[in-house]
Amino acid sequence: MTFYNPRKILLFAAAFLFTFSLIGAGPDSTTIIKKLETVWPMHYRNIDSAIELSRQCYFDARQLGHERTLLRSLHVLGVIEQESGNIPASLNYLDTALKLATKLNDHQRIGQIYNSIGASYSHQGNWKTSIKYMSLAARYKEAHGDIRGSVTSNLNIAVQYLQINDTASTIRYAEKAVDICTKNKFADGYGQAITMMGEIYLYANYLDKAENCFHSALDTINIEAEPVKGIDIYKGLSQIYYLREEATKCFEAVQQMDKLIGISGKKSDLMWLYQGYAQYYFLVKDYKKSEANARLSIDIAKVTGSLHDVSATLDIYVKALKAQNKIAEALEAFELMSHIKDSVSSQNNNESLRRLQAEYEYDRKENEIKSLNNKSLLKETELKQKNYLIIIGIIGIIIICGALVLVFRSYNKSKKTLRLLKVRTKEVEEKNNIITNKNKDITDSIFYAKRIQDTFLPDLGGTNKLLNEFFVLYEPKDILSGDFYWFGEKAGKKIIAVADCTGHGVPGAFLSIAGSAFLNEIINERGISQPQEILSELRHLVIKSLKQTGAEGEARDGMDIGIICIDESKKKIEFAGANNSLIVARSASDKVSADDKTFEEIKGDRRPVGYFRGRGLPFTGVEVNYESGDCIYMFTDGMPDQFGGAHGKKFKRKNLVQLLVSNKQLSITEQKEKLSGVFNDWKGKLEQTDDVLIFGARL
Domains of the chain, first to last: 222-325 (1.25.40.10), 457-698 (3.60.40.10)
Q: In sequence order, which residues have a C-beta less than 8 Å from that of residue 549 and are 6 or more positions away?
A: 611
pLDDT at 14: 37
pLDDT at 463: 59
CA distance 176 to 155: 8
CA distance 299 to 315: 15
Contact 463, 472 (CB under 8 A): no
Instruction: Kindly state the helix (H) or strand (E) to which residue 584 belongs, with its residue range.
Output: strand 581-585
Tell which phi-psi region holds residue 527, choosing left (phi > 0), alpha (psi between -120 and 50) or beta. Answer: left
pLDDT at 305: 56
Residues of the chain with confidence (pLDDT) below 50: 1-26, 344-380, 590-596
pTM, two decimals, is: 0.41
Contact 453, 480 (CB under 8 A): yes
Helix and strand element counts for the chain (H, E): 24, 13
For CA atoms 530, 533, 535, 538, the dihedral sign is negative
Q: Where are any strands of DSSP class E within 307-399?
A: none
**How many CA atoms, within 13 angstroms, populate the side-chain half-sphere of residue 496?**
23
Contact 501, 559 (CB under 8 A): yes
Rg of the chain over Cα atoms, rounded to whole angstroms, equals: 34
pLDDT at 242: 92
CA 600 to chain centroid, in Å, comes to 41
Phi, psi of 490 (to 5 degrees): -150, 130
Contact 629, 587 (CB under 8 A): yes
Contact 153, 143 (CB under 8 A): no
Instruction: Kindly state the helix (H) or strand (E) to which residue 343 belongs, with its residue range.
Output: helix 327-345
Instruction: Kindly state the helix (H) or strand (E) to which residue 474 belongs, with its residue range.
Output: strand 469-475
